[in-house]
A = this chain, B = another copy of it.
């Protein structure tokens, strides 16, 4: 297994994140040796969601007003219909996402997480996948949408649903190990 010792990864989420899409990448990254911090819009806890009900919670490590990409080697954006919908209304959250692209760092989004990439205006010509309901939105934003368990395009890693998590986590670790990609840009 590849080691992520010394790497620090941000997970950007808000209330209603799909529980497994935060818990599974977090565990996988920590097992590989990375430090993981949860970034959100407010202080305290954020609640997860699974199978039509609230499920679990995580403490927020940093709020979006007090954070910069400089501290992190990569960004993960979990899905769920509520969490990305709340985050994309927040200008600082959108700028935070965009800053990982302008600094050429790996970004991984699963399910509805890639809605943030639409607002960050970073999708022109990029190959991605997502939860199928937002395919049209991603295509209208300039992306080439494909139906695969995981898509890797120059440090941008995307998956469709929780059932893709094993493949997603594996590629996320690979891309973080590879580091910056010049073609991951705005």
A→B interface (CB under 8 Å): 15-16, 52, 81-82, 85-86, 88-89, 112, 118-119, 132-133, 136-137, 140-141
Given known pairs A82-B81, A137-B140, the reply for A89 and B132 (CB within 8 Å) is yes
Q: Contacts A81-B81, A140-B140, A141-B140 hold; do A86 and B118 have CB atoms under 8 A apart?
A: no
Whether the pair B81, A133 counts as a contact (CB closer than 8 A) is no
Complex Cα gap A52–B118 (Å): 25
Stoichiometry, as copies per complex, reads 2
| CB–CB A88/B140 < 8 A | no
**Further 20 A-B residue pairs, CB within 8 A, beyond A81-B85, A136-B141:** A15-B52, A16-B81, A81-B81, A81-B82, A85-B112, A85-B133, A86-B133, A88-B133, A88-B136, A89-B132, A89-B133, A118-B136, A118-B137, A118-B140, A119-B136, A137-B137, A137-B140, A137-B141, A140-B140, A140-B141
Task: Across the interface, name the chain B residue whose C-beta is closest to A142.
Answer: B140
Q: Which chain B residue has the least Cβ–Cβ distance from A121? A: B136
Question: Could you tell me the distance between the alpha carbons of A140 and B88 in the complex, rounded to whole angstroms?
Answer: 15
Residue of B nearest to A140 (CB): B140
**CA separation between A141 and B141, bound complex, in Å?**
9
- Distance of A119 Cα from B136 Cα, bound (Å): 7
Q: Which 9 A-B pairs have the closest CB atoms?
A: A140-B140, A81-B81, A137-B137, A89-B133, A85-B133, A88-B133, A81-B85, A140-B141, A119-B136
Q: 8 A-B pairs, CB-CB below 8 angstroms?
A: A81-B81, A81-B82, A88-B133, A88-B136, A89-B132, A119-B136, A137-B137, A140-B141
